Amino acid sequence: MILVLLFLSIFVISSAPNATAESFFTSDAYLEGKLAFDAGNYKSAVKIWIKSAEKGYPEAQGFIGGMYHAGLGVEKNYMKAMEWYMKAAAKGVAQAQLGIGNLYGDGLGVEKNYLKAYMWFAISAEAGNERAEYNLKKVAARMRDADVKKAKKMALDWIQANYKRQIK
């Protein structure tokens, strides 16, 4: 439970510097949800944040993914966590990318896959996520060198393809 709370706290910290005047982090929904979350009222936080997530705010999508991953305010559901993480990850949310790597690395809701875990950790690390850098080392120790090389290429291909989509 402490690890999950740390994960969600890091999510807020790692995403906040990118906030703009029109961002989720400056919205009333973020503040209301954060107050509910900090008070331990996770159901209210989910109820508030899911509205923003459904409107397409990537940070809110990542939060909802984290709530499903941890089972905070909702029943733990790794498939729904992955769904929300993927939406946020596609929009560059490093903490959601880390969450995807964790799901693959631990085989939660998906088949354990160190190639995909490494790929997502590398994508998140490239965006500056220090925890992802740590996880890269851990998962690489369980992989063959050829698989690490393949996972690095997968990450690079994803970054290049995703970056092009965001520019258009």
- pTM score: 0.86
Share of the chain above pLDDT 90, in %: 82
Contacts 24+ apart (CB under 8 A), 40-44: 41/73, 42/67, 42/72, 42/73, 42/74, 43/73, 43/74, 44/73
Q: Does the pLDDT value for residue 13 go beyond 50?
A: no
The domain spans of the chain are 2-167
Q: Does the pLDDT value for residue 19 go beyond 70?
A: no
pLDDT digits (tens, 9 = 90+) for 142-159: 999 999 999 999 999 999
Q: Are 89 and 100 in contact (CB under 8 A)?
A: yes
Q: Does the pLDDT value for residue 20 go beyond 90?
A: no
Q: Are 65 and 99 in contact (CB under 8 A)?
A: yes
Q: Are 94 and 14 in contact (CB under 8 A)?
A: yes
Containing 107, the helix (H) or strand (E) segment is: none
Domain 2-167 has CATH 1.25.40.10: yes
How far apart are alpha carbons 3 and 96 in whole angstroms?
15
Q: Are 46 and 73 in contact (CB under 8 A)?
A: yes
How far apart are alpha carbons 37 and 122 in whole angstroms?
29
Share of the chain above pLDDT 70, in %: 84
What are the residues whose beta carbons fall under 8 Å from the beta carbon of 97, sequence distance 6 or more?
A: 85, 89, 120, 121, 123, 124, 127, 129, 132
pLDDT average, residue stretch 120-138: 97
What dihedral do alpha carbons 164, 116, 56, 168 form, nearest 10°?
Answer: 0
pLDDT average, residue stretch 94-114: 98
Distance of CA 15 to the CA centre of its chain: 10
pLDDT on residue 21:
41
